[in-house]
Amino acid sequence: MIHPHPEAPNSDEFKGFDEARRIMWGHEARARVYERLELTTFIVDTDVAAVHINNTVRADRVLLTAFDMAGQKVGADTLLNDEPGQHLDIAPEFDHDFTDMVVVPESQLEQAITCENGWVVNLTALRDYDLVADRRATQRAVFLAHLQDMMKSGDVRGFLFGRGESDGTEAA
């Protein structure tokens, strides 16, 4: 189940802000899925290929079911949602559909998917995820999104990208 964020009226004046907000929501969803599943043993257990996240049964918890490459159940866990921001909405970068994960026909995993009461995390994609690199890339993307608003308003007229070398002099 996806809980969309309320959208502000779309205006040309704040396109960068709207884009930055969309970028941040994506990062927050990826980071939340990674951090919450890191609380389980599923990420380090190489027998686990996928995790079905059932976030529809109860608002105060997320039911997790782990599956192996053959699509057979190999474990389960429950994560409690102590705060509303802990809900595990779909992060497309990890979702089995978006990552083209192979699901064995007539397996227990396929049965869980057909119930449509959650979504499936491809553990290969989750294990390859680098939270720090994503955070840095998100910071850059958010800055660039805001930059177009700042240039349009005249707050920024010029800028340099890159690390640059300091010659030890101070700019006035």
The average confidence (pLDDT) of the chain is 84
The Cα 93–Cα 31 span in angstroms is 11
How does residue 149 score in pLDDT terms, banded at 50, 70 and 90? confident
* The model's pTM: 0.77
pLDDT of residue 151: 72
What DSSP assignment string belongs to 78-135?
A: EEE-SSGGG-----TTTBTTTTT----TTSHHHHHHHTTSSEEEEHHHHHH--HHHHH
Q: Model confidence over 32-73: pLDDT tens digits?
A: 999 999 999 999 999 999 999 998 777 788 999 999 999 999
pLDDT of residue 83: 83
Which residue did the predictor score with more confidence, 138 or 85? 138
Q: Which of 12-21, 77-86, 147-156, 159-168 has the lowest mean pLDDT?
A: 159-168
Domain borders along the chain are 12-153
Q: What is the mean pLDDT of residues 110-125?
A: 93
